[in-house]
Chains A and B, each alone.
Chain A
Amino acid sequence: MIRCKNISKIYHPDIVALKNVSLHIQPGEFVSIVGQSGTGKTTLAKLLFAEERPTKGVIEIGGWDISKIPDRDIPVLRRQIGVVFQDFKLLQKKTVAENVAFALEVSGERPKRIAEVVPQVLRIVGLGDRAHRYPNQLSGGEQQRVVIARALVHRPKIFVADEPTGNLDTINTREIIDLLLRINEFGTTVVLVTHNRDVVNALKKRVITIDHGEIVSDVEEGRYRI
């Protein structure tokens, strides 16, 4: 599903974010990428949805080499990869339903289909009764669930979550992680970038540890060890 071969990312002039990183993630896997701040976790996540391009190496998503992906193909890639960030990136002037529908609208989806899909995904993330609220009327955990719902509307094969619980308390963190596990159970590959020790240890899933831009460990049922 995801294959990185010797990828490096060097920012101008000579800041090395990633150095010869190689990894392989199978379809349907749940992988946590851990490491301290500034070790290259987010850079790796951004490379997966072509927000950044590697300076060197090859990234394949489902056999598609995206390391030199043309700009016109990026939207096609992004409709197959759901992305969630620590800062929610919600439109404050739109309701929950409108925020979720927005992802389908800008992709040219038909209104009838939008009317069907939006309530479905809102129910999946447990916000079926919050559809007409505005983001500022929701808790942090609920806002993050809206973001997850928005990422789910395209039925992505891969879900990249970059510090999705960074702004949340323990209870909301638990809810979001449970939601990600549920998404993974549907067959979606989940890549979770985090430095939350408790989350990683509770998951008991594959853990890739990055330090100074290099993979220092890759354990099938790993724990947070930094």
Chain B
Amino acid sequence: MFIAFYRASKFAVQNFWRNIWLSIMTVSILILTLLSINVLLTLNVVTDRAIGYVEQRVDVSVYFYETVTEEQLTSVVSYLRTLTQVKDVQVVTADEALVRFQEQHQGDEEILQSLNEYGGNPFGSTLIVQAYNVDDFDFIISALDHPDYQEWIREKDFSNYQDIINSIEESTQRVRWFGYGLSALFLLITALIVFNTVRMGIFIHREEIGIMRLVGASSWFIRSPFLLEAIFYSFLATILAGALLYPILLQVEPKMDAYFGGSTGIIAYFVQNGLWIFGGQFILLSLLNMLATSFAMRRYLKI
């Protein structure tokens, strides 16, 4: 069994070298397929990080009327802190809000003059509420509709952040669908290229195959080099795709990190999940190639 496997592997490697240009073309297409799949994976990681980045900064600003007293504000803060969904509540008093406003519009004489003309502090206190999970904001907002507090609250501001998240998800979903389409197209081309490579291989080795049949080689032995060659293509393509992807990610990751102001961990993701990612891609590609090879053999290899 081992000897037969060794010899079939030897014939598979011979097939590979004898049609080296065809083999290079086949492996190149497989690499493109794997790269498109890996770009999709990278996009998923970046999207997750982007959404996480936005989510970390998501909060609800609860604006109170100027008439609300400090005790009333404290009671709302206490109530919010009893909610398990709430991570933190930050209080911005009316005076702090005024100072912040003045600082923000320091150079804008017109606005500052309008503020002076108003004659007092037009701002009320504000609570900045952070949640553990972005999905909990709907609950927190509805909790603030409590009849005891409802009449103190002028406005609750959350919708902008949700729009940003929705926008990220929508645009990445579009890119993702494009990636799925591109990967599917590459997979189809891969199957066709492998089919053609095997067809050519059978044609080139027809004399050898004829002699094998004549001298009593089993049909398994005649077929197996072509199947092993398909696995060999997949293995080589997976290794080369990984080798090409790594320097690309080395270039891309610092730019992503700078953009998000922290580590996106793209390379770390590939390192941690490398066995599953590349192992899975190798198995998927091998199965696809063996299927294409089987079709080609059924069509062209008369044993």
Chain A contact residues, CB within 8 Å of chain B? 71-72, 74-79, 83, 89, 91, 102-103, 105-111, 150-151, 154
Contact = CB atoms under 8 A, between A and B. Distances in A.
A65 to B, nearest CB: 19
B3 interface: yes
Contact of A103 (B210, B215, B303): B215
B218 interface: yes
B216 A79 contact: yes
B138 interface: no
A79 B221 CA distance: 14
Contacts of B213: 74, 78
Interface string B123-154: 00000000000000000000000000000000
Contacts of B7: 105-106, 108
Given A89-B210, A106-B7, A108-B3, A78 B219 contact: no
B207 interface: yes
Contacts of B218: 72, 75
Contacts, number: 51
Given A106-B7, A111-B3, A71 B207 contact: no
B217 A107 contact: yes
B3 A106 contact: no
Closest 6 pairs (CB-CB, A-B): A106-B217, A103-B215, A79-B216, A78-B216, A108-B4, A75-B216
B4 A78 contact: no
Contact of A154 (B210, B216, B219): B216
Nearest to A77: B216
B211 interface: yes
5 contacts: A75-B216, A75-B218, A77-B216, A78-B216, A105-B7
A144 to B, nearest CB: 15
Contacts of A91: 207-208, 211
B248 interface: no
Given A89-B207, A91-B207, A75 B3 contact: no
A78 B208 CA distance: 16
B214 A110 contact: no
A70 to B, nearest CB: 11
Nearest to B214: A83
A72 B216 contact: no
B214 A76 contact: no
Given A76-B216, A102-B211, 11 more contacts: A72-B219, A78-B216, A89-B214, A91-B208, A103-B216, A105-B7, A106-B212, A106-B217, A107-B217, A108-B4, A108-B221
